[in-house]
Amino acid sequence: MLNTKKFAVLAIVGALAFNPAFAEEKSAALVNGVSISQASIDSAVKGEVAQGREDTPELRKGIRENLIKRELMVQEAKKIGLDKSPEVLHEMEVAKQSVLINAFLMDYVKKNPVSDEVLKQEYESRKAKLGDKEYNARHILVETEDEAKAIIAQLNKKVKFEKLVEKSKDTGSAAQGGSLGWAVPSNFVPPFAYALKTLKKGEYTKVPVQSQFGWHVILLDDERALKVPSFEEVKPQLQQRLQQQAIQKAISDLEAKAKVE
């Protein structure tokens, strides 16, 4: 007679054995007896998809073949003893550290997200610093105040700015007729920015402007209302910048608490 109690126990054990939660990790390939897990392939596919590729059978086949080749090379490296080499062990330790550091950074960003409120505050602060105008200016940069005064004197005599710009030591802008392109004042050092905002279209500075770079003669070609990108347009860049700042602070805090001898 069939022992129904024993049959029931065997059935339960059998079910557990085939339950994915209790089974060994699914293998996608065996390379000389070493398993390459399906999870490894799935992880690699996820990385490729994040880079814009489409999850296709061809992609998965290529990744599987690549992982098999990698495993073969790892096995051969171990076979000839490279895994015992001091240099290789050092590089493996460095690689391990890199993985852990990356994991720490990702975990920190996940646990310390930058709120929209903070992002909007940063946006408004930066927007205020930009002002409401941008300027299209040219300049001539020289070493001494006397040189700058001599250039202004020639401009007063109606000598063309284009001719005098050849004397500028800022060779980059000099090649463009002294043009600095459209920019907001905050892009320049304070003395230059202040002088720029005092000019009207077509005017040049009647007094040389000194900065840490030398002496400037500035000509304002044009000005226009500044079109500031919307919050949503710059949100990703702001988020990245503030996250980087937060990470740097976290690292500084670790350094401050550490005992380094």
Instruction: Give all domains of the chain, ordered by start, each with its CATH number.
Output: 4-90 (no CATH), 133-225 (3.10.50.40)
Strands 179-183 and 209-211 turn out to be unpaired
3-state secondary structure 143-164: CCHHHHHHHHHHHHCCCCHHHH
pLDDT at 83 over 70: yes
| Rounded mean pLDDT, 39-68 | 94
Q: What is the pTM of this model?
A: 0.57
pLDDT at 5 over 50: no
How far CA 249 is from CA of 108, 117, 243, 246, 256, in Å, comes to 12, 20, 10, 5, 10
Sheet containing 133-142, strands listed edge to edge, beginning at the edge strand earlier in sequence = 179-183, 133-142, 214-225, 209-211
- Structural contact between residues 138 and 178, judged by C-beta atoms closer than 8 angstroms: yes
- Structural contact between residues 195 and 173, judged by C-beta atoms closer than 8 angstroms: no
Cα 119–chain centre separation: 17
pLDDT at 9 over 70: no
- pLDDT band of residue 25 (cuts 50, 70, 90) is low
Q: How many Cβ atoms are within 10 Å of 223's Cβ, its own excluded?
A: 17
